[in-house]
Structure formats: structure tokens, C-alpha cells
Amino acid sequence: MLDEVEWTTRRSAHREHVDALVGAYAEGRRHGRSHPVLDFLFTYYNLKPGLLRRWSPGFGTVLTGAGADDFVGSTGFEVDRSFEQSAVRVSDEFLVRRRSTLEFVEHLTRVTAAREPVLRCFGLHEWAMVYRGDPASVRHDVPLRLGPAATDRVVESAQLGCTHYDAFRFFTPEAAPLNARVLARADQLRLEQPGCLHANMDLYKWCTKLAPLVPSDLVLRCFELALRARELDMRASPYDLRDLGYTPVEIETAAGRAEYVRAQATVSAEAAPLREEVSLLCRRLLAYQ
């Protein structure tokens, strides 16, 4: 149970942290400006920056005080009538409704953590998404760093080894057969591995799908990891993002590939305790039911 002083302090700190991370980006969005790196975290994952600011203590914590009435009507919250004063909490009914998602996320995070990281994909999924594509229809409104022809040669000279279906499904039709395996949705539970940048970014996605059952502190730590992973993802991409302040990781060179593997290993190591925390939380919530 948290009294009003405690939970309002935590909520304010959470909002300030979010604003420090994405405040300038959110302001740009309000003025219609796009961002080829950061948009992904809010459009593909379908969570507006304003929603990231919403704070929750997670399931099992009661918020007391007159201000707790602010949560009434928010998704997942209910009045807790076992207290004489105003009190709210995430409802048991909401927990039941999220059971299938909890089961899937627990299974996925557990089997992913049990596998060895694969660290030599070199971020080529972004290259495969533009391979032999129409230059006028690239995914981002920024130029290709090497130009279309040289970009295609990088893909043709490499062995594509993507293990993440939600990246693979955006490969161009010409690139898909070049992957070591043609992936299907059913492969996710069999092939997801902890070295994959996108699998690690997805920890943020799973937390948001389970919110407000998940404490906002965990959501935000997974978001920060996703932010670092996304920056590496796009620095190693074929796009020229130097005007936006992103130094390229030149994976077409031996030095660039080595740099990518080191950075990818760092992200994987940072993701490991977060994945375990998400998995453990899912198990605890499922056990409660």
C-alpha cells in the first residue's frame, strides 16, 4: 500500500524521467516532424509518448488518498472498497483478461533466455528491407549511405541470418530467400534468441501490452534498453543518419562488423536481467490467479 505522498512522488519522478528521454521528440511529433530512428518505438510499438508518461505501481499495490480518484476510469484500475479512505488498485478482472498474454510472454521470455546469444547478424535485416527495392519507396525519408547498388552488393556478399520473424517479414521479396531460414510466425517460440536486437527491444513491447499490471519502473527500464538498441539498429543500417547525429557502424567493413558485435553483446547482456524480471513477474501474476 502506498500513501498519497509516496505514490505522487514516484509518479512525478517517472514523468520527469520520460520527459527527459523523449520530451524533445514528443514536441517534434506535435508539430508533425518525423524521426527515422525514434518513430519506431512509438509507431511500430503503437504507444504514444503521452501513454509512456502514465504511471502505475503494478498489480498488487493499493494507492490511497484523495488523489487516487484520478485513476478511476483508467484502463485496468478499480476502486478498492476494503478501505474507508479513497483507494484504487489494478483489478483482478483485468489480470484475468490478460491471462493469455501473460502465458505467451512468460513462455517466450523463458525459452529465449535459455538459448545462447547469436551475435553475428550484423544488423543486415535493415539492409534486406531495401534490397533491390524501389529507391523512391525506402522505409525512411533519408538517403542510403552507400547508394542502392552498393547496398545491394553488401546484402549479396553476406549470409543473412535473421532469427526474428517480425524483422524478417519486412524483407523485400528478393531478400527473403537469401536468409538462412525462411521464417514464419510459428518460428518465434522456436528461434527467438537473446542476441537479437529486436527480441531485446520487444521486452518494452511486452511490458506495454501488460500495462498497468507491470510497474512503470520496469516499463521504463525496458524502454531505455529499447532506445539504446534502436540507435544501434539504425546506426548499423544502410541509411545515412549523420545529419541527425548518428555515427554509422559500417558493417560492410571488418572493423564495423567487429564494432557491431561488441555493441550487440552489450545490449544482450543488459537485456538478460530485464528478461528474467519480466518472466518472473509473469509467473507471479499467473500464480496469483
Give residue-wise pLDDT tens across range 137-159: 566 788 999 999 999 999 999 99
Give residue-wise pLDDT tens across range 70-95: 998 899 999 999 888 899 999 999 99
Q: Which of 97, 115, 142 is the endpoint of a domain?
A: 97
Give residue-wise pLDDT tens across range 212-260: 999 999 999 999 999 999 999 999 999 999 999 999 999 999 999 999 9
CA 236/CA 232 separation, integer angstroms? 6
Q: Are residues 75 and 111 in the same domain?
A: no
Q: Are residues 254 and 163 in the same domain?
A: yes
What domain range includes position 200? 101-288
Q: Does pLDDT of 289 surpass 70?
A: no
Q: Are residues 56 and 118 in the same domain?
A: no
Q: Per the structure, how many domains does the chain have?
A: 2
Rg (CA), the chain: 21
Q: Are residues 233 and 172 in the same domain?
A: yes
The backbone torsions φ and ψ at residue 69, rounded to the nearest 5 degrees and listed phi first, read: -60, -20
Predicted pLDDT at 156: 97
CA 181/CA 184 separation, integer angstroms? 9
Give residue-wise pLDDT tens across range 269-284: 999 999 999 999 999 9
Predicted pLDDT at 48: 87
From 19-33, 102-116, 132-146, 216-230, the region with the lowest mean pLDDT: 132-146
Q: Do residues 39 and 234 touch, judged by C-beta distance below 8 A?
A: no
Q: Which of 37, 64, 97 is the endpoint of a domain?
A: 97
